[in-house]
C-alpha cells in the first residue's frame, strides 16, 4: 500500500486520532544549549516506543490496510528504525512482516527487528531495494515505504502537531533528513498552522543529496557507496522520494549539512548536557543548530531528535571523546 497522493494537514490530524494510544506522545525538553532569547528544545522521539519516530508512520499505514492486504503480509527495506516500526506495528495487527536490511546496519537494530517477530533478510546496502522487489513479486506482500507514502508522511507529521501544541511560540524546527518523510510531514502540519515558522532540514555532509538538490533546484541521487560512509546510519538513503521532494521544495526553508565530527560532538553534547540518549541520526538536528546557532537568534528552536537506537560500543566511543 504505497499511497502516492500528497497528504494534507487534515490527513495529519486524522493520523493523530488513528494512532493515539498505539504510539507515545514524546516530551518536548529544554536542552540547556540555547540562550534566554533563543532557547533550543528537543523533541525527544528517541523516547518513542521502539526508539524512533518511525512507529508513527508505520502504524498509520498499517491501520489503513484492507483485510486482503493484511492477509498478504507487509514488506519493506530499512537500516533499522523503520524496520522495527513496521515489525512492531505488524505484530500489533497480527500481520506477517518481512524486512530487507543492509549488512551495514547496526547489529542492535537487526536483533531488535527479529525480536519483534519479523523475518529479516540481510543484503548489501546497494541491493536492498532490488531484493525487496524480488521477494514482493514472489509473495504478494504489501510494500510499506520508509518515506514515500502519504500515510507514512501523515503519521510522521503528527510530531509537528505536538510541537505546536507544546510550544506555540516556536520559531524554527530543525529536522534530520533521509528519504524526506519526516520533514515532509512536519512541514505540512507546522506550515498549515504557522506559515512563519522556519523548517530547516539537516543532513550529514557525506549524505547531502537533498542539500545539493535544494541548491541546484532539482532532485539528485547519490551513490550508496557515498551515503554509506556517514556514521548516521539512518540517513544513508541515496535520494529523497519524488513526492517528498515536491513537498520539501514548497514548504522547507533551508537545508544544512554537518560534518561527521559535528555529528559526534552533538551526540555527545546531547547525552552529557541534555541527558538525552540519541543515535547519530537523531543528533544531526542538534548538530545543525550548534553549527549555525547565530542563525536562530529570532526565537525558540526545536530540534527533532529522531531516534535513540545507538550501538552501545559506539555510544561509549563517542562519550569518551573530549568535549569540543
Cα dihedral sign for 309, 175, 232, 19? Answer: positive
- Residues 258, 280: Cα–Cα separation, whole Å: 11
pLDDT at 1: 42
Provide the residue ranges of all domains of the chain, joining segments of one domain with +.
9-52+149-319, 56-143
To which residue does cell 510550544 refer?
Answer: 167
Report how far residue 109's alpha carbon sits from residue 223's, in angstroms, rounded to the nearest whole number.
Answer: 23
CATH class of segment(s) 56-143: alpha beta
- Distance between CA atoms of residues 14 and 18, nearest Å: 6
d(CA 319, CA 191): 36
Farthest-apart Cα atoms in the chain, separation: 58
CB 202 within 8 A of CB 174: yes
What are the backbone dihedrals phi and psi of residue 126, each rounded to the nearest 5 degrees, phi first? -75, -15
- pLDDT of 128 reads 86
In this structure, what are the phi and psi dihedrals at residue 30, rounded to the nearest 5 degrees? Answer: -65, 130
pLDDT single digits (tens) 145-202: 999 999 999 999 999 999 999 999 999 999 999 999 999 999 999 999 999 999 999 9
Bridge partners, 74 (sequence order): 97, 142
| Chosen CATH of 9-52+149-319 out of 3.40.50.1100, 3.40.1390.30, 1.10.10.10, 3.20.20.120 | 3.40.50.1100
Under DSSP, is residue 176 helix (H, G, I), strand (E, B) or coil? Answer: strand
Alpha-carbon gap, residue 178 to 239, rounded angstroms: 8
User: Over the stretch 119-159, which tens digit does the pLDDT of each residue have?
Assistant: 999 999 888 889 999 999 999 999 999 999 999 999 999 99
Rounded CA separation 93/142 (Å): 14
At residue 5, the pLDDT reads 85
For 96, other C-beta atoms within 10 Å of its C-beta total 17
For the chain, residues with pLDDT lower than 50 are 1-2
Please return the burial class of 93, using the count of CB atoms within 10 Å of its CB with bins 0-12, 13-18 and 19+. Answer: middle
| Element at 198 (helix H, strand E) | strand 198-204
| 49 within 8 A of 152, measured Cβ to Cβ | no
| Residues recorded for the chain | 324
pLDDT score for 76: 96
Strand partners for 173:
199, 302
Q: What is the pTM of this model?
A: 0.94
pLDDT value at position 324? 64
Placement of cell 543548530 in the chain: 289
Q: Evaluate whether 175 touches 183 at the Cβ level (below 8 Å).
A: yes
Report residue 133: phi and psi, to 5°.
Answer: -65, -35
Q: Which residues are catalytic?
A: 54, 79
253-273 residues labelled b (16+ CB within 10 A) or e (exposed)? ebbbbbebebbbbbbbbbbee
Amino acid at each position: 500500500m504505497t499511497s502516492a497522493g500528497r497528504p494534507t494537514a487534515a490527513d495529519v490530524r486524522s493520523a493523530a486520532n488513528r494512532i493515539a494510544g498505539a504510539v507515545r506522545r514524546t516530551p518536548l525538553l529544554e536542552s540547556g544549549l540555547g540562550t534566554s532569547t533563543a532557547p533550543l528544545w528537543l523533541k525527544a522521539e528517541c523516547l518513542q516506543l521502539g526508539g524512533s519516530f518511525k512507529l508513527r508512520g508505520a502504524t498509520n499505514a498499517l491501520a489503513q490496510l484492507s483485510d486482503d492486504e493484511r492477509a498478504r503480509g507487509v514488506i519493506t527495506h530499512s537500516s533499522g528504525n523503520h524496520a522495527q516500526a513496521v515489525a512492531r506495528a505488524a505484530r500489533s495487527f497480527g500481520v506477517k512482516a518481512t524486512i530487507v536490511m543492509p549488512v551495514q546496519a547496526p547489529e542492535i537494530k537487526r536483533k531488535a527487528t527479529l525480536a519483534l517477530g519479523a523475518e529479516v533478510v540481510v543484503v548489501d546496502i546497494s541491493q536492498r531495494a532490488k531484493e525487496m522487489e524480488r521477494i514482493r513479486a514472489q509473495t504478494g506482500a504489501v510494500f510499506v515505504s520508509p518515506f514515500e507514502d502519504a500515510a507514512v508522511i501523515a503519521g510522521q507529521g503528527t510530531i509537528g502537531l505536538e510541537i505546536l501544541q507544546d510550544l506555540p511560540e516556536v520559531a524554527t524546527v530543525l529536522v534530520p533528513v533521509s528519504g524526506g518523510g519526516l520533514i515532509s510531514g512536519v512541514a505540512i502540519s507546522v506550515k498549515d498552522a504557522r506559515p512563519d515558522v522556519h523548517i530547516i532540514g539537516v543532513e550529514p555532509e557525506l549524505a547531502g543529496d537533498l542539500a545539493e538538490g535544494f541548491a541546484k533546484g532539482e532532485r539528485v541521487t547519490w551513490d550508496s557507496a557515498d551515503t554509506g560512509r556517514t556514521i548516521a546510519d539512518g540517513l544513508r538513503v541515496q535520494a529523497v522520494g519524488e513526492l517528498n521532494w515536491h513537498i520539501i521544495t514548497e514548504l522547507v526553508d533551508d537545508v544544512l549539512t554537518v560534518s561527521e565530527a559535528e555529528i559526534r560532538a552533538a551526540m555527545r553534547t546531547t547525552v552529557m548536557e541534555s541527558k538525552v540518549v540519541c543515535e547519530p541520526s537523531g543528533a544531526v538536528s542538534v548538530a545543525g543548530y550548534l553549527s549555525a546557532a547565530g542563525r536562530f537568534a529570532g526565537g525558540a528552536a526545536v530540534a527533532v531528535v529522531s531516534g535513540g537506537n545507538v550501538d552501545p560500543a559506539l555510544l561509549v566511543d563517542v562519550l569518551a571523546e573530549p568535549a569540543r
